[in-house]
Amino acid sequence: MVTAGSWFTVCASCRTIRDKDGSWHELSQPLGTHEEALVTHTVCPRCALRLYPEFYAKLVRRYPEVFQIEH
């Protein structure tokens, strides 16, 4: 789902974008079709926690750099 090669990912639920630095941003403009083809659709930490509370714990263990929510 999350690969080292993806340069950014988009939350499939709220459309928040994760950039290559690993931080999540609100998507201010819709992506063009070319950009859509490049993104890896996933869910951001907040949506993962909200939508899949049981699955979220596994995601954090497997991809802590992606899904760990900073406090």
- In contact, 63 and 2? CB cutoff 8 Å: yes
Closer CB to Zn ion, 17 or 61, in the complex: 17
Tell me which of 10, 11, 59, 66 binds Zn ion, using CB under 5 A. Answer: 11
Using left for φ > 0, alpha for ψ between -120 and 50, and beta otherwise, residue 22 falls in: left
- Is residue 48 at the binding interface for Zn ion, with CB under 5 A as the rule? no
- Nearest approach in angstroms of CB 11 to Zn ion is 3
CA distances from 45 to 32, 33, 37, 38 (A): 24, 25, 22, 20
Pick the piece of the chain touching Zn ion (CB under 5 A) from 3-11, 25-33, 50-58, 62-70: 3-11
- Is residue 10 at the binding interface for Zn ion, with CB under 5 A as the rule? no
